[in-house]
């Protein structure tokens, strides 16, 4: 039954996309434009040419032959960005080993994951899809655009930071439950911290070996007899961290462990872009702000395990007001379709303004992922990644009507419902004929 339902969704959603030509230019007219960074424009227009925002204003005349979308009475916002999820992957954790920094999530992308379409239905245009938290040091994550119907390669956002997954606390120390081998080290919090330090010491030594080799190679006298160090893919990733070519995204809940990892980053000189979940971030908000480290968190979801027991709904707003760059994530293939609802809760729990709340799922995650120059707000020169809502996106009664990526409409609620109704009708007619034939 589940397979039939999935097949139905795939066929229907692809049918919706097929009605729009790829690479089209687009003019959105008469919507209330929430730019996020440059205020609100009532009854405004957005002209997208070649996938980029060319013009924002009023009464823009459509170029000849361009498709026009009427957004009268609707709200137009930048595409929502999910800074922490695991969708569009065929596997998440490499459970057979403790350290798996050599693996890359781009190698297991699944462009046919129905969660991509689910994300589009909630206005999500970009995600940071990550290695799981079963390893103290996991693999390299990947940033994707939700280009449903296109290939995995076409979804990859090459402008984004390269990020490596780290995990502290309960998940990595309890990962033996999922391992296919004998119980592995570490099994305690101190062991998790120690093994990360151990691997960075190895990486530092490995980097110095290669530096000496490359320096000696420039010498005519020494070059003839040189043998390069043995290549180690696991350490190569950590060397990229040490050289500043990658940044850390660290799964952490408790304030003490978060501070320990910050000390570790200072010891070895690598950059932490963001802590994931960080339910106790409010306890160390000033320290996080001082180090310019962001957090990617749930809004009002906590106490689902021991180390999450001290979470509070005011975490996002409190940290925002104390200078921390905060984003709201889904970490889910279902919650991803209602991130705008979670962002709105920050107005209730902490009194954030509408503008501040909307930033939690737009420009803030864009900055955390290093893509704020191309997405996250509606500005001339940025990508035409847009979500159109029937009411204000932070209203409890709103819904996403259209989701657009680079000027292409990937989700149209009205057309989707129409297509679904037609397919259901055909299905019933087919079943009716079968019953009649049996008689």
Q: Are 356 and 322 in contact (CB under 8 A)?
A: no
pLDDT score at 24: 78
Asked whether residue 164 carries a pLDDT value surpassing 90, the answer given is yes
Determine the distance from the C-alpha atom of residue 5 to the mean position of all C-alpha atoms in its chain, rounded to a whole number. 26
Q: What is the dihedral of CA 200, 202, 204, 206, to 10 degrees?
A: -140
pLDDT score at 181: 53
Q: What is the pLDDT of residues 380-431, one digit of tens each?
A: 999 999 999 999 999 999 999 999 999 999 999 999 999 999 999 888 888 8
Q: Read out DSSP for 129-158?
A: E---SSSSEEEE-EEEE--TTS-HHHHB-T
Asked whether residue 152 carries a pLDDT value surpassing 60, the answer given is yes
Q: At what angle do helices 189-217 and 233-242 cross, to 10 degrees?
A: 90
Q: Please state, in angstroms and rounded to a whole number, the distance separating the CA atoms of residues 266 and 427.
A: 62
Over residues 257-270, the mean pLDDT reads 97
- For residue 223, what pLDDT band results from cuts at 50, 70 and 90? confident
pLDDT score at 209: 96
Structure-token pair, residue 271: 């950059």
Domains of the chain: 2-78+404-438 (2.30.40.10), 80-375 (3.20.20.140)
Q: Please state, in angstroms and rounded to a whole number, the distance separating the CA atoms of residues 298 and 276.
A: 9
The pTM of the whole model exceeds 0.85: yes
Over residues 316-323, the mean pLDDT reads 98
Nearest to 270 by CA among 166, 380, 366, 369: 166
Q: Please state, in angstroms and rounded to a whole number, the distance separating the CA atoms of residues 123 and 112.
A: 18
How many other C-beta atoms are found inside a 10 Å radius of the C-beta of residue 184? 14
Q: Please state, in angstroms and rounded to a whole number, the distance separating the CA atoms of residues 288 and 284.
A: 6
To the nearest whole number, what is the mean pLDDT of the chain? 92
- Identify how many contiguous H helices and E strands the chain contains and give both numbers: 14, 17
pLDDT score at 21: 41
Q: Please state, in angstroms and rounded to a whole number, the distance separating the CA atoms of residues 375 and 81.
A: 9
Over residues 278-306, the mean pLDDT reads 96
Over residues 301-312, the mean pLDDT reads 93
- For residue 432, what pLDDT band results from cuts at 50, 70 and 90? confident
């Amino acid at each position: 039954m589940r397979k039939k339902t999935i097949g139905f969704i795939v066929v229907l959603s692809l049918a919706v996309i097929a009605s729009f030509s790829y690479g089209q230019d687009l003019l959105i007219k008469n919507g209330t434009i929430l730019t996020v960074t440059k205020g609100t424009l009532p009854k405004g227009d957005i002209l997208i040419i070649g996938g980029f925002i060319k013009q924002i204003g009023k009464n823009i005349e459509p170029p000849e032959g361009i498709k026009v979308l009427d957004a009268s009475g609707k709200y137009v916002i930048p595409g929502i960005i999910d800074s922490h999820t695991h969708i569009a992957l065929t596997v998440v954790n490499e459970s057979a080993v403790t350290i798996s920094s050599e693996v890359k999530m781009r190698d297991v992308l699944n462009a046919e994951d129905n969660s991509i379409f689910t994300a589009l239905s909630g206005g999500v245009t970009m995600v940071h899809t990550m290695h799981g938290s079963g390893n103290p040091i996991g693999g390299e994550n990947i940033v994707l655009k939700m280009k449903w119907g296109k290939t995995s390669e076409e979804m990859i956002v090459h402008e984004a930071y390269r990020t490596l997954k780290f995990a502290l606390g309960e998940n990595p120390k309890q990962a033996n439950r999922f391992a296919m081998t004998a119980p592995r080290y570490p099994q305690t919090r101190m062991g998790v911290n120690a093994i990360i330090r151990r691997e960075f010491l190895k990486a530092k030594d490995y980097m110095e070996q290669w530096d000496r080799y490359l320096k000696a190679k420039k010498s005519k006298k020494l070059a003839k007899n040189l043998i390069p160090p043995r290549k180690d893919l696991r350490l190569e990733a950590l060397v990229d961290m040490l050289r500043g070519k990658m940044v850390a995204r660290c799964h952490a809940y408790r304030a003490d462990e978060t501070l320990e990892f910050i000390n570790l980053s200072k010891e070895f000189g690598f950059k932490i872009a963001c802590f994931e979940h960080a339910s106790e971030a409010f306890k160390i908000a000033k320290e996080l702000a001082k180090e310019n480290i962001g957090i990617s968190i749930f809004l009002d979801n906590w106490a689902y395990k021991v180390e999450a027991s001290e979470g509070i709904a005011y975490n996002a707003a409190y940290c925002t007001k104390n200078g921390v760059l905060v984003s709201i994530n889904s970490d889910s293939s279902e919650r991803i379709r209602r991130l705008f609802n979670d962002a709105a809760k920050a107005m209730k729990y902490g009194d954030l303004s509408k503008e501040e709340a909307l930033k939690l799922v737009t420009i803030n995650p864009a900055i955390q992922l290093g893509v704020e120059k191309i997405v996250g707000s509606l500005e001339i020169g940025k990508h035409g990644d847009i979500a159109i809502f029937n009411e204000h996106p932070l209203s409890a009664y709103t819904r996403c009507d259209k989701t657009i990526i680079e000027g292409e409409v990937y989700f149209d609620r009205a057309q989707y419902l129409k297509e679904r109704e037609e397919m259901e009708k055909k299905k019933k007619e087919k079943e009716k004929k079968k019953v009649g034939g049996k008689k």
